[in-house]
Structure 1
Amino acid sequence: MLEDGFGREVSGVRVSLTDRCNFDCVYCHNEGLGDVRGPMEPTDDELTADEVVRFLEVASEFDVEAVKFTGGEPLLRADLEEIVRRTPESMAVSLTTNGTMLPDRAADLAGAGVERVNVSQDAIDPDAFAEVTNSGAYDRVIDGVEAALEAGLAPVKLNMVVFEATAGYVPEMVEHVAANDGLQLQLIEYMPEIAGHPEWAIDIERVHDWLAETAHRIEHREMHGRRRYFLREGATADNVTAGAEAVAADGGGAAVAAGASDDGAGLGEGMVEIVDPVENEEFCANCHRVRLTHDGKLKGCLNRHDDLRPMGDTKAEIRATFRETVANRVPYYGEYMVEADDGWVVNDAYLD
């Protein structure tokens, strides 16, 4: 397993299969939707199935243990099941999707080798969902989550980006997950370094504080130094309004100790995890992933666009590029952009 200059082993890869998406989420850093007529063969600027598999075979040579397929929307690729089937057996396979095409494909994807899915769902209210995603596909997403569960892809993680427009819906999403077996919630800190609009960001510590007050059990996950909050069904049902105010407005209570309460044994339980990389050295210090873009470039960090390296056509070229990418990984992406008097600018010192 390759190790970068900061002692981090690269144990996973994220492979973007397309930058096309049938949603137009307001927080997304993508420009334009591209061709979204439905599942189709790769476009001219997208890696073919053979090219993706060739890269994964090289990654497996370096003892990479897992691959997550992403996009855009990866299910816009008609050959996704083929790619999954051809992924080296030594690698665990997962994918991130908006869920709209899972009703028709979840069973086939599970049969091909997908082990779990993350589904983007920023609210459980159809109107709020439509406002954030610029999509009327709410019911289709809900059906997609059900299809994934029926296909045995539990637990299904719901991805919710937390920013000004969605923060008030966090308590409802937490209660939704606690009340439904097989679901987990991943709250993702809004990243202005990627998507712009730094004024949309909220203080993610308010969300941590509210969850700590509400959870009956807290665990610390070694990967990325994340905290996991376990909440029993009904923990927020009678206090959704107050919870929304605590998360979305200034303030929020102090955190409580892990395992502070064990009342309510026997009720349903939901797990909530916060992905909070912005200015989080611990998060980046525990990053073990390299990324492959849809057009065949390797990068060592999600937030950087100055280190893109064409992976090459042959396995020998891919091996060399993989090694170079790992060797040039940077420590902390939270410092990639800084706020100056005239707005957010690239931090030249960070690039140096």
Structure 2
Amino acid sequence: MNATALADTSDPVLPGHALAGAAASVTDRLDRPLRDLRLSVIDQCNFRCTYCMPREVFGAHYQFLRASERLSFAQMMKIVRAFVALGVEKIRITGGEPLLRRGLESFIERLASLTSLRGQPLDIALTTNGSLLATRARALRDAGLRRVTVSLDALDQSIFRRMSDADIAVTRILDGIEHASAVGLAPVKVNAVIERGVNDCQILPLVRHFRETEVAVRFIEYMDVGGATGWSKSTVLTAREMRAIVESEYPLVATDSDNGAATSVTYRHADGKGEVGFIASISEPFCGECSRARVSADGQLYTCLFATQGTDLKPWLGDVVPTARLIDAIHTRWNTRDDRYSELHAERRRTGTGKSYPTVRMSLVGG
């Protein structure tokens, strides 16, 4: 896709000095700032992970978004510019599987041409299942992608097949990770969703495989998000339990971190050979520090991963609509945000009431 097709034909974003005051005040009702945008470019995926897109729901006849229903890259550029004008400096490209979206490298190149209000390049990252990464890693890096996170729930082929429900070899994912590291996408992170009794036996093998590399492994509690139709409290292996499994073989030391909005609590190996992280969305919710907005492939703004509905941004994406109006719409929505689903629902889970309502599907809004 050429640059002309990606160009935002709407009016330019207001100068930085005119927006500086507004950006400083972009906080929600719980005084949480807007710092990160997770942008889904497609809702389709070539995996059918049981916790995200189970095949019994997302089968051969499931109606994904048509190409005409997805945002164009020009519309996405307008959205990104608006978020950048409000102070966002980190953009994570998600899906579905984002590498299924044609022209992604050209889009990333356009993103890389933007600067934050502080005049710095944007921090552009991507989350992928890794199946297409080996052949795309260099082009993605050359386009301006800085970091990549690869989902990998098991090294054992049979367990990986059970989790992903895809006829793809684990070695293909590992090859993608190696290529990403080799071309300088750093840091490369591996995310593993751990389901009790299914792939918890893969925690130590994953740690062993990556611990003497530059790849950081992060273990995620099995969450009751959209798509996790089989979720129950009994399937959750907590971060504390996962850490104990790692430390049964490899002592860990807590790392110093000043990023209160980080989703992962990170530890380094006591011998200095790598890092391990744990994301405790269920047992230790971190809603109070959440600074992330999500925009789905069809232009809905979600202010929580567990949201039930979004705010449609498409009315502000037309060529004749000033970008300032889109900025105002996002600003207003963030100012009214009070989401803290995980914190509230943690109490319901403790009392055994379970999942209280359906959430937006993961493949549409990304993780």
Shorter chain as denominator, the TM-score bin is 0.7 to 0.9
Comparing 209-218 with 79-88, which one deviates more in the overlay? 209-218
Distance 1:129 1:227, change over 3 A: same
| SS of alignment partner, residue 287 of structure 2 | helix
Aligned length: 306
Match of 1:167 among 190, 200, 223: 200
Greater strand share, 1 or 2? 1
The answer on whether the counterparts of 2:203 and 2:246 sit within 8 Å (CA) in structure 1 is: no
Distance 2:59 2:273 in 1: 37
> When the two structures are superposed, what TM-score results if normalisation uses the length of structure 1?
0.80
Partner of 1:251: none
Query: Is 1:201 aligned with 2:236?
Result: yes
The answer on whether the counterparts of 2:210 and 2:216 sit within 8 Å (CA) in structure 1 is: yes
Distance 1:65 1:170, change over 3 A: same
Distance 1:326 1:33, change over 3 A: farther
- Cα distance, 1:126 vs. partner? 1.5
Distance 1:15 1:32, change over 3 A: same
Within a 5 Å distance, the mapping from 1:249-328 to structure 2 comes to 264=271, 269-278=273-282, 280-281=284-285, 283-306=286-309, 308-311=310-313, 312-313=316-317, 314=321, 315-328=323-336
The answer on whether the counterparts of 2:188 and 2:214 sit within 8 Å (CA) in structure 1 is: yes
- Cα distance, 1:33 vs. partner? 6.5
Partner of 1:23: 47
The answer on whether the counterparts of 2:220 and 2:239 sit within 8 Å (CA) in structure 1 is: no
Percentage of identical aligned residues: 27
Partner of 1:32: 58
Partner of 1:344: 355
Distance 1:118 1:29 in 2: 19
In the alignment, structure 2 segments of 5+ residues that lack a partner are 1-22, 117-121, 359-367
Within a 5 Å distance, the mapping from 1:78-157 to structure 2 comes to 78-87=102-111, 88-90=114-116, 91-137=122-168, 138-157=170-189
Comparing 50-59 with 215-224, which one deviates more in the overlay? 215-224
Partner of 1:254: none
Query: Is 1:4 aligned with 2:7?
Result: no
- Cα distance, 1:212 vs. partner? 5.2
Within a 5 Å distance, the mapping from 1:69-84 to structure 2 comes to 69-84=93-108
In the alignment, structure 1 segments of 5+ residues that lack a partner are 232-261, 348-352
Distance 1:127 1:93 in 2: 33
> Residue by residue, what CA displacement relative to the aligned partner does 1:152-181 show, whole Å, maximum 9, x if unpaired?
1132101100112111211111111113x2
Partner of 1:58: 82
Higher relative contact order (CA 8 A, sep 6+): 2
Distance 1:153 1:35 in 2: 36
> When the two structures are superposed, what TM-score results if normalisation uses the length of structure 2?
0.77
The answer on whether the counterparts of 2:204 and 2:246 sit within 8 Å (CA) in structure 1 is: no
- Cα distance, 1:336 vs. partner? 4.4
The answer on whether the counterparts of 1:118 and 1:158 sit within 8 Å (CA) in structure 2 is: yes
Distance 1:32 1:65, change over 3 A: same
Distance 1:287 1:324 in 2: 17
Partner of 2:38: 14
The answer on whether the counterparts of 1:224 and 1:284 sit within 8 Å (CA) in structure 2 is: no
- Cα distance, 1:143 vs. partner? 1.4
| SS of alignment partner, residue 44 of structure 2 | coil
Distance 1:215 1:318, change over 3 A: farther
The answer on whether the counterparts of 1:24 and 1:133 sit within 8 Å (CA) in structure 2 is: yes
- Cα distance, 1:279 vs. partner? 5.2
Partner of 1:246: none
Distance 1:309 1:331, change over 3 A: closer
Distance 2:164 2:278 in 1: 21
Distance 2:144 2:175 in 1: 21
Partner of 1:191: 223
Q: Which amino acid aligns with 1:215?
A: P
The answer on whether the counterparts of 1:228 and 1:272 sit within 8 Å (CA) in structure 2 is: yes
